[in-house]
Amino acid sequence: MDVFVSGPNIGNMAVTLGLVVMLLVLSTRANILDRNGALAAALLGLLVGGLGHWTWLIILLGFLLSSHKATKWRFEEKLALGLSESNDGHRGWTNVVANGAIPGFMCLIAIAVQDWEAMVWLFGASVAVAAADTFASEIGALDPRVRMITTLKPCEQGLNGGFSPNGQVAALVGSSVVAALTFAAWFLTSTEDGTGLNGPVLALILALVGWIGCQIDSFLGALLENRGYLTKGSVNALSIAGGVVIMLAVLAQSS
Query: Where is 147: in which H helix or E strand?
Result: strand 147-148
- Could you read off the pLDDT of 224-250 as tens digits, one per residue? 999 999 998 899 999 999 999 999 999
- 47 pLDDT tier (thresholds 50, 70, 90): very high
Q: Check pLDDT > 70 for residue 192.
A: no
Q: What per-residue confidence (pLDDT) applies to 89?
A: 55
Q: Check pLDDT > 80 for residue 128.
A: yes
Across 20-24, 44-48, 107-111, 237-241, least confident range:
20-24
- 35 pLDDT tier (thresholds 50, 70, 90): confident
- 194 pLDDT tier (thresholds 50, 70, 90): very low
Q: Check pLDDT > 60 for residue 134.
A: yes
Q: Check pLDDT > 80 for residue 82.
A: no
Q: What per-residue confidence (pLDDT) applies to 249?
A: 96
Question: What is the mean predicted confidence (pLDDT) over 7-13?
Answer: 94
Burial class (CB in 10 A: 0-12, 13-18, 19+), 48: buried
Select the highest-mean-pLDDT range: 85-89, 97-101, 125-129, 154-158: 125-129
Q: Hey, how many other C-beta atoms are within 10 angstroms of the C-beta on 82?
A: 8
Question: Please, how many CA atoms are within 13 Å of residue 54, restricted to the half-sphere of its CB?
Answer: 19
**Is the separation of the CB atoms in 11 and 2 below 8 Å?**
yes
Q: What per-residue confidence (pLDDT) applies to 111?
A: 95
Q: Higher model confidence: residue 236 or residue 195?
A: 236
Share of the chain above pLDDT 70, in %: 95
Give the separation between CA 218 and CA 150, rounded to whole angstroms: 9
Q: Check pLDDT > 90 for residue 123.
A: yes
The predicted model scores a pTM of 0.93
What does pLDDT average to over the chain? 91
Question: What is the mean predicted confidence (pLDDT) over 47-67?
Answer: 95
Residue 209's contacts (CB-CB under 8 Å, 6 or more residues apart) are 125, 128, 129, 175, 243, 246, 247, 250
